[in-house]
């Protein structure tokens, strides 16, 4: 069992992706999806991914809702700046944020959150010092951004993944 199916969740995700892509539950597609799930799941195992454990699923859902709201809000904020032609008046700049989060999955999710939110971009991360550099489009107060990232995203991510 472990030999054929080292990552059941990944294999299941590949099977589901295949079926949704083909929009069919026909036996042929099911068979192909199962084969793809097994082969690609085993291939994924060869990458030796670090173990993933999600400790708090409800917290993850809550964080997802927060992120969706933040993405919509920052979309509107950036759109307003661009449409009003205020882009020249705003100050953009870099902010260095000390992170305590070290879990690779947590960092990956944080990168997706920061990138998906217009107005902030993940620039670089120094793992040894735990320092993250982001670029903020409409930068008013550096300290507030440090607080926002740590309290809104990092703390829940640490509770979920560490």
Residues of the shown chain interacting with another protein in the complex, contacts defined by CB under 8 A? 17, 20-21, 23, 71-72, 75, 78-79, 82-83, 87-88, 92, 94, 96, 98, 111-112, 114-119, 121-124, 126, 129, 131-133, 135, 137
Q: How crowded is residue 109: how many other Cβ atoms within 10 Å of its Cβ?
A: 21
Taken in order 158, 105, 61, 69, the sign of the CA dihedral is: positive
Minimal distance, residue 70 CB to another protein, in Å: 10
Tell me the C-alpha distance between 117 and 51, whole Å. Answer: 27
Minimal distance, residue 73 CB to another protein, in Å: 10
Minimal distance, residue 51 CB to another protein, in Å: 20
Decide whether 1 or 83 has the Cβ nearer to another protein: 83
Decide whether 40 or 132 has the Cβ nearer to another protein: 132
Minimal distance, residue 133 CB to another protein, in Å: 5
The answer to whether the beta carbons of residues 149 and 122 sit under 8 Å apart is: no
Decide whether 34 or 122 has the Cβ nearer to another protein: 122
Q: How crowded is residue 5: how many other Cβ atoms within 10 Å of its Cβ?
A: 15
Helix, strand, or coil here: 84?
coil
Tell me the C-alpha distance between 119 and 145, whole Å. Answer: 12
Decide whether 5 or 133 has the Cβ nearer to another protein: 133
């Amino acid at each position: 069992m472990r030999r054929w199916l080292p990552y059941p969740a990944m294999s299941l995700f590949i099977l589901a992706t295949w079926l949704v892509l083909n929009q069919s539950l026909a036996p042929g597609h099911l068979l192909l999806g199962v084969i793809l799930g097994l082969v690609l799941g085993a291939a994924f195992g060869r990458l030796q991914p670090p173990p993933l454990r999600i400790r708090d699923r409800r917290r993850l859902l809550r964080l997802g809702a927060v992120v969706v709201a933040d993405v919509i809000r920052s979309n509107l904020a950036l759109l307003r700046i661009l449409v009003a032609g205020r882009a020249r008046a705003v100050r953009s700049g870099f902010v260095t944020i000390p992170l305590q989060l070290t879990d690779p999955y947590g960092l990956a999710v944080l990168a997706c959150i920061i990138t998906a939110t217009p107005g902030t971009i993940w620039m670089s991360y120094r793992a040894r010092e735990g320092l993250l550099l982001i670029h903020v489009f409409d930068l008013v107060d550096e300290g507030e951004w440090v607080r926002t990232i740590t309290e809104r995203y990092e703390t829940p991510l640490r509770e979920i993944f560490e």
